[in-house]
Amino acid sequence: MTERELGYVELEWRCPSCGTRNPGSAKKCRQCGAALTEEIRFEQAPQEELITDEARLAQARAGPDIQCAYCGTANPATAKTCKQCGADLAEGKARQAGQVLGAFRAEPAAPLKCPACGKENPATALKCAACGAALAQPVAPAAAPAPAKAKFPTGILVAVLLGLCLLGGLLFALSTRTTDTIGQVNGVSWRRAIAVEALAPVTRQAWRDEIPAGATVGQCTRKVHHTQPNPAPDAKEVCGTPYTVDQGSGYGKVVQQCWYEVYADWCDYQALEWRVINTVVAQGADPNPIWPEVRLAEGQRAGARQESYQVNFLANDKTYTFSPADAAEFSRFQPGTRWKLKINTFGAVTGVEPAAGP
């Protein structure tokens, strides 16, 4: 995104001593003379108007005020010495700037009623045109408090979480605690499968420039392909809501974020892809697994292969099962051979190794 400058507006500040609203460029309260200190924050006017006067624009663009290091007086960014005490401003501190104050208030605001005489004044007025009394911005009503949500007792929640942790730890301990027993291979089984694939038409969606060669393109729709900060062919500029940024000088810069939406064709297309149409399986209960014979017709091919193995052990009149990882491991378990089995609390075989001795 890129930031677009729309112009400058004058801000306001409220005197903490008497409550009077003052124009942002004023360095002292126009009612009581109190100084604009570093702690006082600038605010948006109820209705903001872009400045057109060149002299005021120069002030707005000059930079943040400099607070005198000796007396705290706010001075324009271009000043070299403090207008209050004459101190050198080289040791002064630039006022904080860059804060986003809110959306640009371009729409006409409601009139302000004078608290002294009741006369309505334009929203931009700082003093009543009839009696000269200071006009304050209306304070937005406080939002009604949200209904309190029922709280789950903390003690019960902690107890539940602790119970779950203990249960998880117990299950883990039981699954890892093993006992050794001698078992004999009582039987084996295996299963091997090969997928048979054929080219079949499938319908997909993709950007036009990503559609595979040879595919049949169907209906297309113009959609946003991506966004970027710079102009481009077939792009639409989109800008966000303008907002006011405090410049630290009593003025605000009105900006908005803009970007470009680049459009492209999003299309349906049909293409031929390899799809599984059948699976050929071979299985047995012997220690010599083989792959099934695959007979392919024209336009077909052999696809992915899958294999699984199982060994049954007999130990202490109980049957246990174990699944070797591959054919090489499976070949070790010849019927009648003896193995030391590691059995966990749940009766699962977690490890095997050849048994020593007869």
**pLDDT tier at 141, thresholds 50, 70, 90:** very low
Tokens linked to 279: 């699976």
DSSP 187-209: EEEEEEEEEEEEEEEEEEEEEGG
Q: What integer best gives the mean pLDDT of the chain?
A: 90
Torsion, CA 89, CA 90, CA 95, CA 98, rounded to 10: 140
Mean pLDDT (whole number) for 322-326 = 96
Q: What is the per-residue pLDDT for 234?
A: 83
Q: What is the per-residue pLDDT for 358?
A: 60
- The two beta strands, 216-228 and 66-67, are unpaired
Q: Which residues pair with 291 in a beta bridge?
A: none
Cβ count near 59 (within 10 Å): 22
Query: Which has the closest alpha carbon to 11: 74, 87, 82?
Result: 74
pLDDT digits over 181-240, tens only? 999 999 999 999 999 999 999 999 999 999 999 999 999 999 999 999 999 988 999 999
Q: What is the per-residue pLDDT for 314?
A: 96
Q: What is the per-residue pLDDT for 89?
A: 94
Mean pLDDT (whole number) for 165-191 = 81
| Choice between 110 and 276, residue whose per-residue pLDDT is larger | 276
* β strands within 64-158, DSSP E: 66-67, 74-75, 93-94, 100-103, 112-113, 120-121
**pLDDT over threshold 60, residue 149:** no
Tokens linked to 3: 């930031």
**pLDDT tier at 126, thresholds 50, 70, 90:** confident
Q: Which helix (H) or strand (E) holds 269?
A: strand 251-284
Query: Which has the closest alpha carbon to 57: 247, 213, 240, 184?
Result: 247
- The two beta strands, 112-113 and 120-121, are antiparallel
Cβ count near 28 (within 10 Å): 15
Percent of the chain with pLDDT over 90: 72
Q: What is the per-residue pLDDT for 140?
A: 46
Tokens linked to 270: 């049909």
Q: What is the per-residue pLDDT for 172?
A: 64
- The two beta strands, 12-14 and 21-23, are antiparallel
* Cβ contact 178:320 at 8 Å: no
Mean pLDDT (whole number) for 338-345 = 93
Q: What is the per-residue pLDDT for 59?
A: 93
Mean pLDDT (whole number) for 233-260 = 95
Amino acid present at 190: W
* Cβ contact 73:27 at 8 Å: yes
Q: What is the per-residue pLDDT for 134?
A: 82
**pLDDT over threshold 60, residue 349:** yes
* β strands within 37-177, DSSP E: 66-67, 74-75, 93-94, 100-103, 112-113, 120-121
327 three-class SS: helix
Q: Which helix (H) or strand (E) holds 158?
A: helix 154-176
Mean pLDDT (whole number) for 146-174 = 67
| Choice between 299 and 167, residue whose per-residue pLDDT is larger | 299
Tokens linked to 343: 């059995």
pTM of the model: 0.61
